Structure 1
Amino acid sequence: MSGINGSMAHLSDTLFTTAIAVYALAAVGFTAEYSFGRRELRAGSRTVRARELVGAGGPPVSEPVAPAAPVSSERGSFGDRIGRFSVAVVVIGAIVHAASIAVRGIAVDAVPWSNMYEFANVAGLVGVIAFLGVVWKAPGIRRLGGFILLPAIVLMFLAGTVWYSQAAPLVPALRSYWLAIHVTLAAVSEGALMTSAVLTVLYLIKARHDKKPGTGTLARLAERLPAATALDKAAYRVVAFSFPLYTVAIICGAIWAEAAWGRYWGWDPKETWAFIVWVVYAGYLHARATAGWKGNKAAYVNLLGFFSITFNFLVVNIVVSGLHSYAGLS
């Protein structure tokens, strides 16, 4: 590739590397907030029994009521300032990251997510944006930014090294507007589900500590985590957002398959594992809605779903051959 496209491809790679560095800086900042910020203030840290005593005929109690929601750090404190700075850095990194994807699209003259490198690049950006969305709705999650950004950074590092592909025109089989629709929805949903998986792991650590406090590194980690219910709720909301997108992605893929191969569904390995992922997450949402699963059982189902996504992305793309063999690896 030469001329302006070659220059744009080089610029895209530079922006991609810069985004990784910016995310790493933000992760250090979040880790500092987690380490040096004040321990969370939880509702219920004091037992407030004023209403109970009055209702039982007891004397009124003037004990102050504890805060109703967890607070990651006191506003204006050292930890809070670092946390706010880190969020700003993440936003800058996301802008640089998005620019790298847009420039890559200009270089290849198509939507830039036709191989493993480009797909992982987009999924990493979506994971970061999902984290920002969770922080917007639940500020107490902010101090966990280092844990949530780490998988995105690792994913991008692998994309830029092991899975990297030179910018090149699309193969004929991918020259369809369905690429922009089907793969975009898949990348967005799977990138967000990565964030949900991290929150679920942290929930399990917190829930185990609440049930059976211990000592050591995990115990110290659990003590500074937000309430288990907050982590569980955040993980669930991300899945509830992502699942409809993933469902539409599968439907669009089936329509594209009929146009390209003359059948909607053929149990190709990629199709089969996409269906497995869908079933697992459908079971997760159904169990929470009907059986009231909001504890460890639901968390394990959520992690099983993300394991299925990981297997589909790594093993099926690299090891198994099929009609969807567009990994871009030599």
Structure 2
Amino acid sequence: MAVYAFAFIAFALDLARRSAQVGAGNAVGVDGSVTVNERVLEKVGAGAAGAGAEAAESASVATTPARAGFFSRGGNSVSGGSSDGGSTTKRSLSLRLGVAFTLIGFLLEATADVLRGIAAARVPWANMYEFSMTGTVLIVGVFLIVITRVDLRFLGTFITGLVLILLGISTVNYYVGVSPLPPALQSAWLVIHVFVASLGTAFFALGFALSAIQLVQYRRESIVAGAKFWRLKFMASLPDSTRLENLAYRVNIVGFVFWTFTLIAGAVWAERAWGRYWGWDTKEVWTFIIWVIYAGYIHARATRGWRGSRSAVLAIIGFAAVLFNFGIVNVFFHGLHSYSGL
């Protein structure tokens, strides 16, 4: 947690640096590079909320290279850095430190997770404390893998902040010693079902971060100039709301695939353990609710044209349901899935 805290501070310093550079009229790329002596941001008139905001966005991001697909290699797929050969650029030290601390924290936490499994002589996700540790390891791991394909390092503050909160709650409230598995959990499905659910949650967390930033960016692009509360300067260095929405959609689709498998595997496991595929247990119901929310999000965006803020709100509601399922249902609702260990 201490190493993640250092990463959080470094990422926050990078956002502060971006705000200062954008305020000074320099273009700041998504990768943290700063292009000096680029075109200064045009002032948006009070009545030019549409075309004026778009022009200011274009000027602040400067010249953007061709963007490749989601799984293309290299940071330029989302980069906003300048391609002007005569410009001088300098990389953000705070951003590099943030990624380095995040990687170190991930390795330390993954080691702790593995050692917990060795101590218990089983997979380390049989109670709330272990699930919290494994889930946060996967959130950070997915983030580190994705940024090797698409430059989403600007999400570092959110990801490390979320992980710090979850680890803090689990350490204070959920810690239990190593204990043997209940009979119902003594199955190979524990390895498959819970791990895939954790992996789906990790992708949903990344999609939630993108959707939250998309909402702010969309508001920033459409609001009349002069509303200072929404004029977050560092947002000018991030991708536009359309790009953020497309990235969130692709990430959430991956999470939805994993969650669909989780729902199916859980039904198969329930039949093996309790002799029925579905029993309307609280945990089963909330797992299905989460699936319905994300299925509605994907369907509405693909067939009904739900773009912009509406799709972002649906994605945020979906992740809120995931957190409710994890932090409330597992602890305060009693049923066949009461394996929190508390």
TM-score normalised over the length of structure 2: 0.78
Does the CA contact (< 8 Å) of 1:34 and 1:79 recur in 2? no
Does the CA contact (< 8 Å) of 1:109 and 1:169 recur in 2? no
In the TM superposition, what is the alpha-carbon distance from 1:327 to its structure 2 partner?
1.0
Match of 1:23 in 2: 4
Moved more, 73-82 or 93-102: 73-82
Match of 1:113 among 87, 112, 125: 125
Moved more, 179-188 or 282-291: 282-291
The percentage of aligned residue pairs carrying the same residue is 38
Match of 2:311 in 1: 298
Helix, strand or coil at the partner of 1:137: coil
In the TM superposition, what is the alpha-carbon distance from 1:41 to its structure 2 partner?
4.9
Q: Could you say if the C-alpha distance between residues 106 and 72 of structure 1 is closer, same or farther in structure 2, counting changes exceeding 3 Å?
A: farther
Deviations 1:16-45 (A, max 9, x none): xxxx111111111111122114445579x8
Match of 1:244 in 2: 257
Aligned length: 291
Match of 2:159 among 141, 148, 156: 148
Q: Which has the higher contact order (CA 8 A, sep 6+)?
A: 2
Please state if 1:163 is matched with 2:168.
no
Match of 2:222 among 211, 230, 239: 211
Tell me the C-alpha RMSD between the 2 structures. Answer: 2.5
Q: For the residues of structure 1 that align with 2:90 and 2:241, how far apart are their CA atoms? A: 25
Does the CA contact (< 8 Å) of 1:186 and 1:245 recur in 2? yes
Match of 1:195 in 2: 206
For structure 1, the residue ranges without an aligned partner over 5 or more in a row are 1-19, 47-64
In the TM superposition, what is the alpha-carbon distance from 1:231 to its structure 2 partner?
2.0
Matches within 5 A, 1:93-132: 93-132=105-144
For structure 2, the residue ranges without an aligned partner over 5 or more in a row are 31-38, 41-61, 68-77
Matches within 5 A, 1:257-296: 257-296=270-309
TM-score normalised over the length of structure 1: 0.81
Match of 1:136 in 2: 148
* Letter aligned with residue 340 of structure 2: A
Does the CA contact (< 8 Å) of 2:220 and 2:230 recur in 1? no
Moved more, 74-83 or 287-296: 74-83
Q: For the residues of structure 1 that align with 2:145 and 2:293, how far apart are their CA atoms? A: 24
In the TM superposition, what is the alpha-carbon distance from 1:218 to its structure 2 partner?
5.7
Deviations 1:212-253 (A, max 9, x none): 042137633534443222322222121111111111111111
Q: Could you say if the C-alpha distance between residues 164 and 78 of structure 1 is closer, same or farther in structure 2, counting changes exceeding 3 Å?
A: farther
Match of 2:15 in 1: 34
Q: Could you say if the C-alpha distance between residues 73 and 36 of structure 1 is closer, same or farther in structure 2, counting changes exceeding 3 Å?
A: farther
* Letter aligned with residue 197 of structure 1: F
Q: Which has the higher helix share?
A: 1
Match of 1:230 among 243, 247, 253: 243
Match of 2:36 in 1: none
Q: For the residues of structure 2 that align with 1:78 and 1:123, how far apart are their CA atoms? A: 35
Q: For the residues of structure 2 that align with 1:94 and 1:119, how far apart are their CA atoms? A: 15
Aligned structure 1 segments of 4 or more residues deviating by more than 6 angstroms = 73-76
Helix, strand or coil at the partner of 2:174: coil
In the TM superposition, what is the alpha-carbon distance from 1:78 to its structure 2 partner?
5.8
Match of 1:88 in 2: 100
* Letter aligned with residue 282 of structure 2: P
* Letter aligned with residue 276 of structure 2: R
